[in-house]
Amino acid sequence: MRARAGGGRGKKKVAVIFGTRPEAIKLAPVVLELRRTPGICTRVCVTAQHRSMLDQVLKDFALRPDTDLDLMRPDQTLAGLTAGALQALDAYLAREKPDLVLAQGDTTTVLCAALASFYRRVPFGHVEAGLRSGDLRAPWPEEANRVLATRIAALHFAPTAGARANLLAEGVPPASIFVTGNTVIDAMFLALRRIAGSRPAVPGLPESVLGGRLVLITGHRRENFGEGFESICRAVAALAARFPAVRFVYPVHLNPNVLAPVRRILGGPAGLSNVHLIEPLSYLPFVRLMQASTLILTDSGGVQEEAPSLGKPVLVMREVTERPEAVQAGTVRLVGSGKARIVAAVSKLLTDEAEFHKMARAHNPYGDGKSAGRIVRHCLRFLK
């Protein structure tokens, strides 16, 4: 564990805890807003649940953690990570003694931050509260993590009115729920301003690829491990063969359950020349890649929220989503992980201009880029 000393006399102390790449992206605007706010002493603690991908985002947003618990271990089980994170966060809170803890989303880090805060009698604020798929097995274990965190939280920062309705249906006191929008839109707008003049390179990808038709693929969900990823890879291979003029770009997640089928089916000597398997990207190049894409095939939650602001249709390789607003708005369509459905849906968007534009022009329901400011204002009122 690494920690930096320092404090703020007379100020209220807010500890922001995160551990994964998506959490870092979504909490970076909140941390930056807290640090600009008088009367607040901000502390950033990372569990490093995703070490290398987390570090990329910290660099992109120039964030330096005050405490790095460095919990990632090879072949770590969920139970092992949970036990280690809970113990480490309990010790951290005992030393730091914050007035409020903030965490975001639905990871193991969030669950442990909520539980450690409860044990230390520290109020816990949940950013991106109220998302529900209604199925504890999908996404797994994220749905359980966010449901359990809700029972502990004192402040619930719901991104949408639908998320607020979910919380009210579960008996959460209305006065503790605040609809703020999603901070991922804040992060993306920050990134767009950063890349507007610099045009960062996309490592592993020739610049010429960014100028033509491009399908961006991301995938990492545990419920797709095994046959799900096998089927996804076969679908991408079939699409690449059917559309040789289209580039299929896949920044491959580092989890072996993802890497193995992707490399076996899409890589190696038998790989198609228009399939580009690249390393996971830091946030700024990834935003540029989203900008350059024609459409996006994903199982990621954050991409479902970001891409509509860029006018990109999103096909989600899941059977359910805890983000129904984008489906209702027409920016997102669920296609599952089956080969036939994926191939049919992507082919439709690549060949039917009217269908493509109908999705590309739909409204983004997730925010206006001012969510972090709303969250910090509610935190200030609570702390006073």
CB of 7 closer than 8 Å to CB of 41: yes
Q: What is the dihedral of CA 53, 372, 180, 155, to 10 degrees?
A: 80
Helix (H) or strand (E) holding 183: helix 183-198
Q: Tokens in use for 306?
A: 């970001």
Task: State the Cα–Cα distance between residues 253 and 179, nearest whole angstrom.
Answer: 32
Task: State the Cα–Cα distance between residues 343 and 333, nearest whole angstrom.
Answer: 13
φ, ψ at 267 (rounded to 5°): -105, -165
Please confirm, yes or no, whether 299 is among the known catalytic residues.
no
Q: Looking at 142, 143, 186, 305, which residue is catalytic? A: 142
Q: Looking at 68, 106, 230, 322, which residue is catalytic? A: 106
Task: State the Cα–Cα distance between residues 57 and 61, nearest whole angstrom.
Answer: 6
Ramachandran class of 219: left when φ > 0, alpha when ψ lies in -120 to 50, beta otherwise = beta
- Got the DSSP string for 272-305? -TTEEEEPPPPHHHHHHHHHH-SEEEE--HHHHH
CB of 34 closer than 8 Å to CB of 16: yes
Task: For CA atoms 144, 145, 150, 156, give the dihedral sign.
Answer: negative
Please confirm, yes or no, whether 106 is among the known catalytic residues.
yes
Single-letter residue type at 81? L
Please confirm, yes or no, whether 220 is among the known catalytic residues.
yes
Q: Looking at 132, 220, 221, 318, which residue is catalytic? A: 220
Please confirm, yes or no, whether 222 is among the known catalytic residues.
yes
Neighbouring-strand partners of residue 218: 298
Q: Looking at 156, 164, 247, 253, which residue is catalytic? A: 253
CB of 70 closer than 8 Å to CB of 48: yes
Please confirm, yes or no, whether 156 is among the known catalytic residues.
no
Please confirm, yes or no, whether 227 is among the known catalytic residues.
no
- In the chain, how many H helices and how many E strands? 15, 14
Q: Looking at 128, 223, 305, 306, which residue is catalytic? A: 128
Catalytic positions, please? 106, 128, 142, 220, 222, 253
